[in-house]
Structure 1
Amino acid sequence: MNRSLIFAYPGDLSLKTGGYAYDRKVIDGLRSLGWAVNLMPLGDGFPVPSEATAQSASKMLSALPDDTLVVIDGLAFGVLDGWATSEAARLRIVALVHHPLALETGLSETEQKRFRDSERAALASARHVIVTSPMTAREVSSNYGVAVTDITVALPGTERVDFAPADNPVPQILSVGTLSRRKGHDILLSALKSIEDLEWQATIIGSKTLDPATSAALSQQVDDLGLEPRVQLAGEVDDPQDHFSGADVFALASRYEGYGMVFAEALSHGLPIICCKAGAVPDVVPEDAGMLVPVDDIDTFGQALRRLLTDPDERERRAKAARRAGAQLPDWPETAQIISEILDRIS
């Protein structure tokens, strides 16, 4: 059997985001299972590439020989519908959808419709669709016309860690997520302001360069709220493991998540979680480990923070529940095996 494939991706595969981390782990896992994975960078700017970038990406993909197995990250695939439609019969196209493009925060109705229409057309041309959560599977099936039998859920893996509770004189609150509007860091900052009478320090890890306008706004918000001494916008870090190990509480106010790998990571580190009932988050974070509040509800988010910071017993109960849930999560070899079996079938 010829176990080779093209893995096509937009932008910079080395970026420290959940989606790119998933791609890198899957590529490594497939290679360890005997697949020859050849990388094809499609260019920058997706999902709103320049016309030249979109044409270049389509040209590269169309140059592939007949029957090539090509896995394409959904950030690009969802807007390459014209190419996908024209090449569907010739190539074995597999879409990897982290979450539908139309569900990104901050889009106008016109933008949402454009993404929804293009992604629906693109997915109709795929031999199979791999998604990262049951919630995304339901979305793709219900609203994008993909048959349930053509969808495979491959949950992100979670690294196994040796648990050791943090011993901090001042509680440490950790948040991890790109400084983008969808991650809701503005809600977290306002919630932190509401508990400034308590002792705590907060670190927010995430790229400051992918959405410069939001990053600048968050930095200004920290200044305006007078939280500079207590909140660190740390930017990207090479390895956030030490931050997870040294935290007491994980808090992220995402407005939508296709899965939320950082929540799984927080569970594996035994951290009680404060988050929002958004997208796949309720599928990842059990109610006994996390306090799930409505999206954009500053008051309730702040109340949840206050409760965990002022009630050590509550914090410990939820930490134990997080450790139990984290122990049940799949690891990356399991994720790669699920995807490998589907690709074997298609190729």
Structure 2
Amino acid sequence: MSEIVFAIPGEIDLPTGGYGYDRRLLQEWRGNGVAARHLPLPGSFPNPTPKDLDETGRLLLSQPSDHVLLIDGLAYGAFPESIAADLAGRVVALVHHPLGFETGLETEHARRLIARETAALRHASAIIVTSPATKRLLVSGFGVSAGRIAVAEPGVDRAPRAAGGRPDEPLQLLAVGSLVPRKGYDILVESLRPLQDVAWRLTIIGSADRAPATTLALKAQIASSGLQDRITLAGAVGEAELAQAYDKADIFVMPSLFEGYGMVLTEAMARGLPILCTTGGAAAETVPDAAAIKVAPGDAGALTRALSELLAESTGRKRLADASWAAAETLPRWQDTATIVAETCRKVFA
């Protein structure tokens, strides 16, 4: 193998966990002398047009035969089997989470995505996933043998411990993630309605343009609940502003219905924040039980009860925060992640 060609659809600078993972791999490889380059693919994935599929096939098949093709699952999982078969023997597929498990899909659309990804994965020489939970899912639901799958959990950067909000201010709740159905923000807003007699403020940081209908519905729900003065939809922000938001937070909340890993959870742990999250997908395992209150995804009542407990009990918040801060020391670093991915790619041509 002379080079890793990392094929990624769309704009690599988009503020999502998956794109953040891809960016950090490329950054770590540059810093450590690993021969790798980014190959942009059309941005219509995971619902590519016929023209974009033709262009994708041309781009990938034109790469030198001694280069490993590392293909982000947002594209690879949507490949027709004919393209995947043409590339067989030189592909490593990176699966953040299966495409058919995105919330809000019509049943038939989800079924087609699962069938297409199952077929494509048969032709990958190796598969990289970001959590043990996703590995188990591919084995049980997609017919992939465990021996073909490597787990490369996202790394986390060291960060200063969060200072929290001022004592004379309402407790600051923070959620981070794009406004898409899978993130469950409608459930979070519903869970906060019964808690209007408690002093809190919620900031949701995440891109508002990935699912415009979801964003409009969320804004309408906030207004109809009378919470427009207490919930801020901050949109996508830069790294400095995001770090400032983590520093000012008192509680981190992640109401997602499904996660392939949940990078924002480890970012919250790196700041020593008490966490309230769901058990959707890999999120159940990403945070140790001692560092978080965990509830079933989609259960607004359970979220209300957990939030009520956290908002009322400073001792409980501190216990979770201390466990979160301690657990962050055991998390992988990005260099570890990049090494696993690079070694997996090398083995394809070994």
TM over 0.5: yes
1:155 aligned residue: 153
1:101 aligned residue: 99
Question: 3-state SS of the aligned residue for 1:175?
Answer: strand
Q: What are the residue-to-residue correspondences of 1:181-192 with 2, within 5 Å?
A: 181-192=181-192
Give the drift of 1:164. 4.2
Q: State the distance in 2 between where 1:3 and 1:225 align.
A: 57
1:323 aligned residue: 325
1:210 and 2:244 aligned: no
**Contact 2:2-2:67 at 8 Å conserved across structures:** no
1:12 aligned residue: 11
Q: State the distance in 1 between where 2:128 and 2:202 align.
A: 35
The superposition leaves residues 202-223 of structure 1 with CA deviations (integer Å, 9 ceiling, x where unpaired) of 1000000111111111111111
**Contact 2:92-2:126 at 8 Å conserved across structures:** yes
| Matched letter for residue 18 of structure 2 | G
Q: State the distance in 2 between where 1:95 and 1:32 align.
A: 23
2:142 aligned residue: 144
2:283 aligned residue: 281
Q: State the distance in 1 between where 2:162 and 2:219 align.
A: 32
**Contact 1:85-1:121 at 8 Å conserved across structures:** no
**Contact 1:183-1:256 at 8 Å conserved across structures:** yes
1:297 aligned residue: 299
1:86 aligned residue: 86
1:264 aligned residue: 266
Larger deviation, residues 108-117 vs 120-129: 108-117
Give the drift of 1:342. 1.6
Q: State the distance in 2 between where 1:306 and 1:327 align.
A: 29
Q: State the distance in 2 between where 1:292 and 1:255 align.
A: 12
TM-score normalised by the chain length of structure 1: 0.96
2:236 aligned residue: 236
Q: State the distance in 2 between where 1:68 and 1:82 align.
A: 20
Larger deviation, residues 62-71 vs 38-47: 62-71
**Contact 1:308-1:314 at 8 Å conserved across structures:** yes
Tell me the matched-pair count.
344
2:255 aligned residue: 253
The superposition leaves residues 68-111 of structure 1 with CA deviations (integer Å, 9 ceiling, x where unpaired) of 2110000100111321112214xx10000000111111222211
Give the drift of 1:167. 4.1
1:42 and 2:44 aligned: no
**1:43 and 1:341, CA in 2 relative to 1: closer, same or farther beyond 3 A?**
same
Give the drift of 1:232. 0.3
Question: 3-state SS of the aligned residue for 2:195?
Answer: coil
Give the drift of 1:31. 2.2
Q: What are the residue-to-residue correspondences of 1:304-343 with 2, within 5 Å?
A: 304-343=306-345
1:114 and 2:112 aligned: yes
**Contact 1:3-1:344 at 8 Å conserved across structures:** no
Q: State the distance in 2 between where 1:164 and 1:205 align.
A: 17
**Contact 1:184-1:296 at 8 Å conserved across structures:** yes
Larger deviation, residues 318-327 vs 62-71: 62-71
Question: 3-state SS of the aligned residue for 2:182?
Answer: helix
**1:283 and 1:33, CA in 2 relative to 1: closer, same or farther beyond 3 A?**
same
2:126 aligned residue: 128
Q: State the distance in 1 between where 2:41 and 2:63 align.
A: 13
Question: 3-state SS of the aligned residue for 1:70?
Answer: strand
Determine what percentage of the aligned residue pairs are the same residue. Answer: 40
| Matched letter for residue 243 of structure 2 | Q
**1:64 and 1:164, CA in 2 relative to 1: closer, same or farther beyond 3 A?**
closer
1:345 aligned residue: 347
Give the drift of 1:158. 0.5
Larger deviation, residues 163-172 vs 247-256: 163-172
Q: State the distance in 1 between where 2:318 and 2:87 align.
A: 54
Q: State the distance in 1 between where 2:195 and 2:82 align.
A: 51
Question: 3-state SS of the aligned residue for 1:156?
Answer: coil
Give the drift of 1:20. 0.2
**Contact 1:158-1:265 at 8 Å conserved across structures:** yes
Larger deviation, residues 116-125 vs 138-147: 138-147
**Contact 2:10-2:42 at 8 Å conserved across structures:** yes
**Contact 1:3-1:35 at 8 Å conserved across structures:** no
Give the drift of 1:3. 3.9
Q: State the distance in 2 between where 1:207 and 1:76 align.
A: 20
